Amino acid sequence: METNKFRGLGVAMVTPFDKNGKIDVPALKKLTRHLVDGGTDYLVVQGTTGESPTLSEKEKQVVLDVVVSENAGKIPIVFGIGGNNTAKLIESFSTFDLKGVSGILSASPYYNKPSQEGIYQHYKALASATELPVILYNVPGRTSSNILAETTLRLARDVRNVVAVKEASGNLDQVMNIILNKPEGFLVISGDDSITLPIIAAGGDGVISVVGNAFPREFKSVVQCALEGDFTKAREHHYRILPVIAPLFAEGNPAGIKEVLKHMKLMNNYLRLPLVTVSEKLSRDLISITENLCAAGTYDLK
């Protein structure tokens, strides 16, 4: 199964809301154009950065349809289908209209804390319900359950359409173990913006990014230079954008990135509970960092 479409910079898109909490369709179209024009390699719709747990299935379909229409086939689209009820996820493949979708991103089951065998059987069942490529998503900080390297590798070898893993464990030893032992064509994608450079240097294939929502061109430069082996330039771009990454997550995701996107006049910063907007202090810090990046000539805030 062809996997190159998932190399490079993927962006986990936020979901814009209006002041009444409804999906802000004009802002979603604007964000899609911003990402496509900024050189993003593929879009990830309705991952956790898109506040997917707070959207109904009908709303998720609306978001997907808007992005598919606005993208108009320019770059691949990955759709998030994840959760801790395997049977319900399998059913969703028949309820969602996935026309225009190139792959599925699925986070490991949260809260249940399944065994490694349970995680393996969950993904095997999920992948068998679709012909689309499936990207595993390991994010133990959110799910309280780590997909061990051995389980990722077992799925990569046993399940034809499990084609990649988004690794957000923060464990470079684990990431490198997967890279060392993975079958040919299986992709290892960073799930942490701040360690994308070392993951690519170790043999990884790119990132599914949060900061890329605001700065796709700048982060694409990090990823592309690293994939091409030009680590001098990759480090230059990496250290230019690094100061904004940690503050983005200081009070939860996507509150930080939505604050930056508001300042860049791409959308408002409304969130759905239980998430709330960032504090005034963090807002000031993020605005200052954003203006410094834009003053370097990368973006125009006007």
What's the CA gap between 222 and 159, in Å, rounded?
32
Catalytic-labelled residue, pool 42, 123, 137, 299:
137
Reduced to 3 states (helix: H, G, I; strand: E, B; else coil), residue 104 is: strand
Partners of 136 in the β-ladder: 106, 165
CB 123 within 8 A of CB 160: no
Structure-block tokens of residue 174: 């684990």
DSSP secondary structure code for residue 160 in this structure: T
Question: Is position 166 annotated as part of the catalytic site?
Answer: yes
For residue 274, say if its preceding peptide bond is cis, omega within 30 degrees of 0. Answer: yes
Catalytic-labelled residue, pool 60, 166, 220, 262:
166
Query: CA of 225: how far to CAs of 36, 107, 233, in Å?
Result: 19, 28, 6
Structure-block tokens of residue 86: 């395997």
Question: Is position 281 annotated as part of the catalytic site?
Answer: no
Provide the annotated active-site residues: 137, 166
